[in-house]
Structure 1
Amino acid sequence: MAVSLVVTADTHLPKRARDLPHALWAAIEAADLVVHAGDWVDVALLDALESRARGLLAVYGNNDHGPLRERLPEVARAEVGGLRVAVVHETGDAKGRERRCADRFPDTDVLFFGHSHIPWDTTTATGLRLLNPGSPTDRRRQPTGTFLTAVADAGVLSEVVLHPVAR
Structure 2
Amino acid sequence: MRLLIIADTHVPTRARDLPPRIWDEVDGADVVVHAGDWMDVALLDAMEERSTRLVACWGNNDGPELRDRLPEVARATLEGVRLAVVHETGPSAGRDRRMHEAYPDTDVLVFGHSHIPWDTTAPGQCAGARGLRLLNPGSPTDRRRQPYCTYMTATLAGGLVGEVELHRLPRDR
**How many residue pairs were aligned?**
165
In structure 2, C-alpha distance between the alignment counterparts of 1:26 and 1:136, rounded to whole Å: 13
Which residue is 1:122 aligned to? 120
Q: CA RMSD in A?
A: 0.6
Hey, what's the Cα distance between the residues in 1 that align with 2:157 and 2:65?
Answer: 33
Moved over 3 A (4+): none
Question: For 1:31-82, what per-residue CA distance to the aligned partner results, in whole angstroms no more than 9, with x for missing partners?
Answer: 0000000000000100000000000000000000121000000001110111
Distance 1:159 1:121 in 2: 12
| 1:98 aligned counterpart, secondary structure | helix
Residue 155 of structure 1 and its aligned partner are, at CA, apart by 1.1
CA distance in 2, matches of 1:49, 1:105: 27
TM-score by length of 1: 0.97
> Which of 134, 141, 144 lines up with 2:145 in the alignment?
141
* Structure 1 residue 135 displacement after superposition: 0.2
Paired letter, 1:91: T
Cα distance in structure 2, aligned partners of 1:104 and 1:161: 25
CA shift digits 1:143-164 (9 cap, x unpaired): 1100000111111111211111
AA partner of residue 132 (structure 1): N
Counterpart selection for 1:37 from 10, 15, 35: 35
Q: Counterparts of 2:139 and 2:74 in 1: how far apart (Å)?
A: 19
Q: Give the share of equivalent positions with the same residue, in percent.
A: 62
Taking structure 2 as the reference length, the TM-score comes to 0.94
Q: Indicate which of 85, 88, 91 corresponds to 2:86.
A: 88
Shift of 1:11: 0.2
CA distance in 2, matches of 1:52, 1:128: 30
CA distance in structure 1 between the aligned counterparts of 2:19 and 2:156, rounded to whole angstroms: 24
Structure 1 unaligned regions, length at least 5: none
The runs of 5 or more residues in structure 2 that have no matched partner are 125-130
